[in-house]
Amino acid sequence: MTPGIVDIHTHYGTYLLPQTAAESTVSDVLENSDPNVADTWIENAVRPTDPAFSRALAGGVTTLQILPGSSALFGGRSVIVKPVPAVTVDQMRFPDAPQGLKMACGANPADSFGGRGRFPNSRQGEVAGVRAAFIEAQHYQKSGMNICRGASMSRRIAI
């Protein structure tokens, strides 16, 4: 018996289909309103009827990690699913699989935000943003306060 293929990085179910050249940038793959959208969950954007799931299964893929895109430093939570026919993402969810957190450094965040004249616009700015977010999250965690949506960029990382 051979185990199936595990695809650890997909965006299946998050793009508008059928997709034409005019819609090439339309998707729910990432909330890019802030460099830190760690409080978003990609599972809320996944469309279980995407034909990519049945194609993956036919090709031997039995488990997928669906990730947010890479334009934010903290892009949100991932979801691990089986590519089975389903009406809801919950029906596809791999039992007891933990959520992951998508983080990115490099060209994508710098281009995405720097291209709009926003922070971060360089790799050094990205690292500074990540460091500040973790330091502030540690202070927040020690204070016993809840981290909630709408907090400042660095406070929105939930550890």
Q: Residue 123: give its domain's CATH number.
A: 3.20.20.140
Those residues whose C-beta lies under 8 Å from the C-beta of residue 17, and which sit 6 or more positions away, are 47, 50, 51
DSSP alpha helix (H) spans, 31-106:
51-58, 89-92
Residue 21 belongs to domain spanning: 5-156
pTM: 0.82
- Model pLDDT, residue 66: 97
Q: Do 68 and 31 contact (CB within 8 A), yes or no?
A: yes
The structural domain count of the chain equals 1
Q: How far apart are CA 109 and CA 106, in angstroms?
A: 6
Q: Do 64 and 94 contact (CB within 8 A), yes or no?
A: no
pLDDT per residue as tens, the chain (159 positions) = 567 899 999 999 998 666 666 665 667 888 989 999 999 999 999 999 999 999 999 999 999 999 999 999 999 999 999 999 999 999 999 999 999 999 998 899 999 999 899 999 999 999 999 999 999 999 989 987 765 544 444 444 444
Kindly state the tokens that stand for 97: 């699989």
